[in-house]
């Protein structure tokens, strides 16, 4: 389980195919537990709460990684890099989906980071992709590498009978310092399910902000974009920008572990509602 081929959903899939016949297996006692080392020592233990997503496949892609840290900023003498924070939110989302019986692939992987509860996440360049290949510095090569992996896995899972397959890609934006940006979503306008997913997640986030921070307002948006990953990924995709890393208020959404967990929880709820 320590090598790069560690399969996040293996235990869940076996349980789903065998014993998860009811919608809420934990209702008959303590939830079943699975262990996923990729989440790190403090978060590897994962309760399987129900089988709500047993027939769903998710390809989770955090932006950049390896030789490319993505958008970044210096805060209190520390480098705050897009790839580390997008990866942490992505791991938390993956764990949430596994808790409901989904089959999950982390396409970008860092075997020694895990879910981290620090404010400042240390940067490194040792991320790889599913299968252990190094991440190219060249952007076009990097994007082709990821879509090829996703599309091959998509075909394989389609042959196994999985009809609901989705790509969730996370990024952190970089704009002018004074430009505050709420979470926003892009979709493929040639795939109706992509639009439906993006709009559903947008609605969930908007409702959560309205409930948790009344009067704050939510200025995020959802719209079609013609980006490579959106165009070339065969499964329906939702491309998410988490905020502006150069803006102090947006960074609070990323620096605090509780905020990163809340975002992951809300994303999971939005996916489960669609």
Domains of the chain: 10-272 (3.40.630.40)
Contact 46, 38 (CB under 8 A): no
Q: What is the DSSP letter of 136?
A: P
Structure tokens that stand for 198 in this block: 């993006």
Mean pLDDT value across residues 155-163: 98
Query: How many angstroms separate the CA atoms of 169 and 125, rounded?
Result: 19
185 burial (CB, 10 Å; 0-12 / 13-18 / 19+) is: buried
3-state secondary structure of 56: strand
- Residue 94's pLDDT is 98
**What is the percent of the chain with per-residue pLDDT over 70, rounded to a whole number?**
88
Mean pLDDT value across residues 89-110: 98
The single residue listed with the structure tokens 């389980």 is 1
- Residue 215's pLDDT is 67
pLDDT single digits (tens) 8-37:
443 333 333 222 334 455 455 688 999 999
Output the average pLDDT for the chain.
88
**CA-CA distances (angstroms) from residue 20 to 26, 50, 102?**
10, 8, 12
- Residue 3's pLDDT is 33
- pLDDT higher than 60, residue 5: no
- pLDDT higher than 90, residue 38: yes
- pLDDT higher than 80, residue 243: yes
* pLDDT band at residue 218 under the 50/70/90 scheme: confident
């Amino acid at each position: 389980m320590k090598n790069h081929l560690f399969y996040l959903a293996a235990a869940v899939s076996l349980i789903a195919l065998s014993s998860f016949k009811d919608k809420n297996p934990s209702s008959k006692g303590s939830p079943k537990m699975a262990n996923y080392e990729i989440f790190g020592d403090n978060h590897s233990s994962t309760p399987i709460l129900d089988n709500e997503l047993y027939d769903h496949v998710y390809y989770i892609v955090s932006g950049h990684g390896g030789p490319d840290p993505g958008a970044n900023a210096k805060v209190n003498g520390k480098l705050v890099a897009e790839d580390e924070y997008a990866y942490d939110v992505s791991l938390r989302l993956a764990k949430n989906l596994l808790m409901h019986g989904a089959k999950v692939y982390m396409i970008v992987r860092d075997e020694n980071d895990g879910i981290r509860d620090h404010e400042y996440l240390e940067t490194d360049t040792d991320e790889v992709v599913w299968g252990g290949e190094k991440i190219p510095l060249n952007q076009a090569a990097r994007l082709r590498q990821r879509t090829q992996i996703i599309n091959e896995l998509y075909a394989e899972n389609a042959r196994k009978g999985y009809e609901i397959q989705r790509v969730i890609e996370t990024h952190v934006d970089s704009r002018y310092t004074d430009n505050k940006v709420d979470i926003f979503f892009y979709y493929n306008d040639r795939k109706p399910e992509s639009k439906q997913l993006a709009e559903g997640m947008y609605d969930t986030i908007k409702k959560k902000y309205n409930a948790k921070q009344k009067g704050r307002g939510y200025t995020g948006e959802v719209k079609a974009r013609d980006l490579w990953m959106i165009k070339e990924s065969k499964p329906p995709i939702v491309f998410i920008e988490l905020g502006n890393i150069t803006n102090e208020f947006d960074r609070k959404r990323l620096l605090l572990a509780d905020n990163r967990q809340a975002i992951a929880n809300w994303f999971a709820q939005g996916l489960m509602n669609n």
